[in-house]
A = this chain, B = another copy of it.
Amino acid sequence: MESETGAFLEGPRLEIAGAAEGPLAGLRFAAKDLFDVAGHPTGAGNPDWARGRPLPARHAWAVQALLDAGARLVGKTVTCELSLGILGFNAHCGTPPNPAAPGCLPGGSSSGSASAVAAGLADIALGTDSGGSVRVPASLCGLYGLRPTHGRISFEGVCVQAPSFDTAGWFARDAGAFARAGAVLLGEPAAAPGQGPLLLAEDAFALADEAVQAALRPQAARVAALLGGAPRPMALGEPGELAAWGSQRAVLQRAEGWQTFRDWIDRVNPRLAFSVARNLGIGAALTEAQIALAAALRHRVRERARALLDGGAILCIPSTPFTAPPLGLPLHALDALSDRIGLLTSFAGLTGVPQLSLPLGQVAGKPVGLSLLAWRGQDARLLGIARALAG
């Protein structure tokens, strides 16, 4: 069902030189087509989004920050439609290639950003992550990717999807460029890894393919050693609770998404992939009671995150339950894969804690990411761990 395209938007490549000097001088970066670039339409992966909107008068905050630090913008990248989607296909633009797993989906919604970096067409790339849109393509394309603490990096000049979930993050192939970009975007250099237990969430690992678990467990041990111990097996939730988090996260995110897009939909009746329109329609049909129940549950998950992580522990889970799925699957199969991914991405989404995906796993030649989660605000520490692991 997916037609293929490149990582970048079609048409002449948008290039903007960065400042002459700066910590990112010499690095090329790409930006997901959710980020404003002054004077150019922001398409958001939908053919009707930009129509009738004024051109952005200024760059998104994160684009400006990277330019000011000396990085060169080398293009805007394909995104899943309206950032709604986790596997990386787009019914309008096509699906960017996964250079690390040819013939497979790249993951999304920051699909083109991950694809461009994995192909070496850019050194770093900006993405957004509301429901997993940095973590998932980082895992499937074999990249470093951070979903920062919610609210940590300015979302100014970026298309909103679900405000209580939206974050701006980035990708890189190597830990050095990843940390350098992070220092600029976080306003803080990579910090020391520090000590502290590595909590290995057995219930989260159990949701992944066995081969993925087997590939990631030795890497978890490496991380634990760096932190001064051995992985500490534990359960993230009560039995079945991760599944509940997945569905409650979906309720809240879809409810907010409907609020974001409803006026535009009413005005424009836009062209959308069936899957995207259906999910928006589900958001429209949610009752206040369903939303209130999910919001109450989010409060409990946040308390759980504080109890686990506030003392300095690092939590370890697979970034995705599987490696990149092949192209050409029917929608019901894609839906099942998306739901399964959501079981692992929802903890950070609901709690706002930062989640780093490390390109440490490999199964049958395809990458899969190991994720580390820390308490809110410890983004720079996660970057320090990434850099230390890379040696």
A residues lining the B interface (CB < 8 Å): 1, 48, 89, 91-92, 265-275, 277-278, 280-282, 284, 330-332, 334
Do A273 and B274 touch (CB < 8 A)? no
A270: nearest residue on chain B (CB-CB)?
Answer: B274
Residue pair A277, B281 in contact (C-beta under 8 Å): yes
* A91 interface neighbour in B89, B270, B284, Cβ under 8 Å: B270
Tell whether, in the assembled complex, residue B269 and residue A331 are in contact, meaning their CB atoms are under 8 Å apart: yes
Give the CA-CA distance A275 to B277 in the complex, in Å.
Answer: 9
Cα A266 to Cα B336 in complex, Å, equals 12
Contact A269 B273 (CB under 8 A): yes
Q: Are A277 and B269 in contact (CB under 8 A)?
A: no
Of B89, B278, B330, B331, the contact of A277 (CB 8 Å cutoff): B278
Contact of A274 among B1, B265, B275, B332 (CB under 8 A): B265
Nearest CB on B from A73, distance (A): 29
What residues of B have a CB within 8 angstroms of the CB of A274 in the complex? 265, 269-272, 277, 280
Write the nearest CB–CB distance from A47 to chain B, whole angstroms. Answer: 8
- Which B residues are CB-close (under 8 A) to A273? 269-272
Taken together as a complex, chains A and B put the C-alpha atoms of A273 and B48 apart, in Å, by 10
Judging by beta carbons under 8 Å apart, are A330 and B275 in contact? no
Q: Are B277 and A1 in contact (CB under 8 A)?
A: no
Q: Which 9 A-B pairs have the closest CB atoms?
A: A277-B277, A266-B331, A266-B330, A281-B281, A278-B281, A269-B331, A91-B271, A274-B277, A269-B275
Distance between Cα atoms of A132 and B91 in the complex (Å): 31
Bound-state Cα–Cα, A267 to B271, Å: 18
- A278 cross-chain contacts in B, Cβ below 8 A: 277, 281, 284
Q: Which residue of B lies closest to A48 (CB)?
A: B91
**Residue in B267, B272, B282 whose beta carbon sits within 8 Å of that of A272 in the complex:** B272
B residues in contact with A89, CB < 8 Å: 269
How long is the Cα–Cα vector from A267 to B275 in the complex, in angstroms?
Answer: 11
- Answer whether A271 and B268 are a contact pair too, CB < 8 Å, given A277-B278, A278-B277, A281-B277: no
Q: Are A267 and B1 in contact (CB under 8 A)?
A: yes
A92 and B277 within 8 A (CB) = no
Given pairs A1-B267, A265-B331, A272-B273, 8 additional interface contacts (CB within 8 A): A1-B268, A1-B269, A267-B331, A269-B274, A269-B275, A272-B274, A272-B277, A274-B277
Residues of chain B lying within 8 A (CB to CB) of residue A330: 266-267
A267 to B332: give the CA distance in the assembly, Å. Answer: 9
The chain B residue with its CB closest to the CB of A264 is B274
A279 nearest CB across to chain B (Å): 9
Q: List 26 A-B contacts (CB under 8 A).
A: A1-B267, A1-B269, A48-B91, A89-B269, A91-B271, A92-B271, A265-B274, A265-B331, A266-B330, A266-B332, A267-B331, A269-B273, A269-B274, A269-B331, A269-B334, A270-B274, A271-B271, A271-B272, A271-B274, A272-B273, A272-B274, A272-B277, A274-B277, A277-B277, A278-B284, A281-B281
Across-interface contacts of A271 in B (CB, < 8 A): 91-92, 271-274
**Chain B residues closer than 8 Å to A268, beta-carbon distance:** 1
Q: State how many angstroms separate the Cβ of A199 from the closest Cβ of chain B.
A: 38
Which residues of chain B are near A284, meaning CB under 8 Å? 278
**Chain B contacts of A272 at CB under 8 A?**
271-274, 277
Q: Which residues of B contact A280 (CB under 8 A)?
A: 274
B residues near A92, Cβ cutoff 8 Å: 271
Tell me the complex Cα distance, A1–B266, Å: 9
**Bound Cα distance A318, B35 (Å):** 52
User: A316 → chain B, closest Cβ, in Å?
Assistant: 34
